[in-house]
Amino acid sequence: MLDQLLTDSDKFKAGCWELIAGRFGYEAPGLKFILGYANSDFEDTVTNWLKVVHPADIRVVFRAYVNYMQSDRDMPFVQRARLLHKNGSVRHVMFMGKVLQGLTVHRRKRMAGGYYDFTSQVIAIEQARHADAAKSEFLSVMSHELLTPMNAIMGFANLLSENPRIDQLEHLGMLKFSALHLLTLIEDILHFNQLDMGRIVLKEEDIHLHKLLSTIVEGHLKSANSKGLCLKLNIDDTLPAQVITDPVRLSQILNNLISNAVKFTSVGQITLDVSQIANYAEHARVHFEVKDTGIGIPGEKQQMIFETFVQASSDNKRPYNGTGLGLAITSRLLKLMSADIKVHSEPGVGSSFFFDLDLRLKNPTVRLHGKEKEFDDMSDTLADMRVLLVEDNDVNVYLAEHFLRKWQVQYDLAQNGEVALDKVKKNDYDLILMDLQMPVMDGYEATRAIRALDGKYAVLPIIALTASAELNMMTKILDAGMNSCIRKPFKPEELYKQLAANFKKNNDAGTAG
């Protein structure tokens, strides 16, 4: 009965088949053609066809067929299988069929259906997966190679800033500015890649919204004041103080918008307005708006600026540097938060970027975002703290040693994970600072080995200190057993905060014991 369905299917990737009890019929030539066989190469029996099914799939296909034949068969039979080509390669084929009710041959049931060779799609998916993995690996290696010298540049700039001569202040300021600018460009590219590959997941926390907004604005005061600009924060009286959101992503969005406003404004002021526009039982709708009196954006370019690597001015002599990724990143982050960014701008008058976010409300008990009070002034003593620094880069060792000595921290050095494991077995440490990419034994392997020692080693704080920007780095860090991560180039106050927090926690636990 399949004669009417057959055309030139043997020339294509799809065709029909019919099974009468234990025998294929009619359409076997088309499927044989796909597998590199001539029709005369073997007879169309189930036994012969099973010989071209991948050994790992034979049991699966047979079980699926038996289960189907024992069912009520209202639904069609659907099963994918790997078939072996004559040259040894694998073809991926999808089979679909149905028992022909009432039609039998010598009381044997007949089953008919079709097949489709989707090998090209499987290959394309695998190639895309390998490309993503290669891209991730490339960015991880490149970020490490870029951020490691950046750690040295910014680290030495911080060292020189501790007791500079008056004639060095201007040069140090220019050095820090250039280093921060380069670091921003690197991080823009890395953040965009993470968004592009869908690897960024929102992590909501309990935050004090007013304090977060104040901290963000304070971070831009110096750059705004250096241009003679007035930077203001206006908070609506009805704005809830305590909300649940992702503080890192919200900060990134607002920092991008304020930084752009400062960059493109020469005279006047920049304002961050935040107001509540609706309040519900469990969440509030909050309006965020960054306004400036800058150069403005022509109407025909106001949507283009949210595309990748695009700035409103394409002139090679434009006075404003950057990757053109800031607004693209901002737009994509807001989409993750179920919001859209909009712009109103007039050339020569200024611009206004705004968006609305639904922020979940919480009870009054809240852990404030930002620095813990006890560590704000870096006054806690670390004199009795013992740290193992695991690092193979001499410059990074020099920088870390400077601050550890300054804070009177007792420390040992290990050039790789193998040396670190040996020292941990022989000495008592309050904390380990663990680099990730090292010869002999890397930080991941060393951490797993330390955790495997059990006892006190199961709770020994291990902090990753790394320049890596691997897309799944935090997952790998936590899976290996590390507690948290400090990114290079590290800020001295961030390192201090991590050391002090863990040292205080250990001391409190010892007192309680």
Give the pLDDT mean for 367-380. Answer: 42
Do residue 182 and residue 72 come from a single domain?
no
Structural domain contains residue 329? yes
Structural domain contains residue 89? yes
Structural domain contains residue 243? yes
**Structural domain count, the chain:** 4
Structural domain contains residue 172? yes
* CB of 81 closer than 8 Å to CB of 97: no
**Among the listed ranges 28-32, 48-52, 82-86, 411-415, which one has the minimum average pLDDT value?**
28-32
Pairing, β 283-292 against β 350-361: antiparallel
Band (85; pLDDT cuts 50, 70, 90):
very high
Band (169; pLDDT cuts 50, 70, 90):
confident
**Among the listed ranges 224-238, 482-496, 497-511, which one has the minimum average pLDDT value?**
497-511
Identity of the residue numbered 209: L
Band (20; pLDDT cuts 50, 70, 90):
confident
Residue 374: what pLDDT? 36
Do residue 43 and residue 107 come from a single domain?
yes
What does each C-alpha distance from 366 to 115, 243, 362 come to in angstroms?
A: 59, 9, 8
Which of 304, 332, 361 is the C-terminal boundary of a domain?
361
Nearest to 420 by CA among 448, 399, 380: 448
Greatest mean pLDDT among 92-101, 149-158, 267-276 lies in: 267-276
In this predicted model, which residue has the larger pLDDT, 68 or 342? Answer: 342
Which of 361, 394, 423 is the C-terminal boundary of a domain?
361
Residue 73: what pLDDT? 66
Do residue 244 and residue 352 come from a single domain?
yes
450: pLDDT strictly greater than 50: yes
Residue 512: what pLDDT? 52
Residue 342: what pLDDT? 92
Interatomic CA distance for residues 329 and 256, integer angstroms = 9
Give the pLDDT mean for 260-266. Answer: 91
Do residue 164 and residue 186 come from a single domain?
yes
Q: Determine whether 417 is exposed, middle or buried from the number of CB atoms within 10 Å of its CB (0-12, 13-18, 19+).
A: buried
Do residue 315 and residue 419 come from a single domain?
no
Which residues, other chains included, contact 129 with Cβ-Cβ below 8 Å and sequence gap of 6+?
A: none
Residue 147: what pLDDT? 76
Q: Any idea what the CATH number is for the domain that residue 44 is in?
A: 3.30.450.20
Pairing, β 23-25 against β 14-20: antiparallel
Interatomic CA distance for residues 439 and 149, integer angstroms = 18
Structural domain contains residue 101? yes
Do residue 248 and residue 221 come from a single domain?
yes
Do residue 101 and residue 217 come from a single domain?
no
Give the pLDDT mean for 8-32. Answer: 64
368: pLDDT strictly greater than 50: no
Band (4; pLDDT cuts 50, 70, 90):
very low
Token reading at 313: 């001015």
Give the pLDDT mean for 133-149. Answer: 71
What does each C-alpha distance from 113 to 19, 27, 68, 140, 348 come to in angstroms?
A: 9, 10, 14, 48, 68
> What are the φ/ψ torsions at residue 67 (nearest 5 degrees)?
-60, -40
Residue 10: what pLDDT? 42
Band (185; pLDDT cuts 50, 70, 90):
low
Per-residue pLDDT reduced to its tens digit, 396-436: 898 899 999 999 999 999 999 999 999 999 999 999 999 99
134: pLDDT strictly greater than 80: no
Give the pLDDT mean for 466-481. Answer: 78
Query: Would you tell me how many other CB atoms lie within 10 Å of the CB of residue 437?
Result: 17
Percent above pLDDT 90 for the chain: 30
What angle do helix axes 394-406 and 119-160 make, rounded to 10 degrees? 50
195: pLDDT strictly greater than 70: no
Percent above pLDDT 70 for the chain: 77
In this predicted model, which residue has the larger pLDDT, 332 or 72? Answer: 332
Half-sphere exposure of 395 (CA within 13 A, CB side): 13
**263 by DSSP, 3-state: which?**
helix
Give the pLDDT mean for 327-337. Answer: 85
315: pLDDT strictly greater than 50: no
Residue 44: what pLDDT? 79
Which of 196, 215, 246 is the C-terminal boundary of a domain?
196
Give the pLDDT mean for 241-255. Answer: 88
Band (199; pLDDT cuts 50, 70, 90):
low
Residue 375: what pLDDT? 39
Q: Any idea what the CATH number is for the domain that residue 434 is in?
A: 3.40.50.2300
Structural domain contains residue 267? yes
Please state, rounded to an integer, the average pLDDT across all residues of the chain.
Answer: 80
Token reading at 241: 């103080």
Do residue 173 and residue 318 come from a single domain?
no
Residue 430: what pLDDT? 94
Do residue 53 and residue 149 come from a single domain?
no
**Among the listed ranges 30-44, 193-207, 256-270, which one has the minimum average pLDDT value?**
193-207
Residue 41: what pLDDT? 87
Structural domain contains residue 447? yes
Is-cis flag, bond preceding 489, omega within 30? yes
**Among the listed ranges 49-58, 75-84, 294-303, which one has the minimum average pLDDT value?**
294-303
In this predicted model, which residue has the larger pLDDT, 144 or 61? Answer: 61
Band (21; pLDDT cuts 50, 70, 90):
low
Do residue 450 and residue 504 come from a single domain?
yes
Interatomic CA distance for residues 431 and 386, integer angstroms = 7
Give the pLDDT mean for 85-105. Answer: 81
In this predicted model, which residue has the larger pLDDT, 20 or 375? Answer: 20
Do residue 215 and residue 352 come from a single domain?
yes
Residue 324: what pLDDT? 54
For residue 273, the enclosing domain spans 205-361
Do residue 386 and residue 282 come from a single domain?
no
What does each C-alpha distance from 335 to 81, 198, 200, 357 come to in angstroms?
A: 39, 12, 12, 10
Alpha helices in 411-491 (DSSP H): 417-426, 443-451, 473-480
Q: Which residue has the tokens 């991008």?
A: 256
Q: Any idea what the CATH number is for the domain that residue 325 is in?
A: 3.30.565.10
In this predicted model, which residue has the larger pLDDT, 291 or 138? Answer: 291
Token reading at 87: 């040259």
312: pLDDT strictly greater than 70: no
Read off the pTM: 0.46
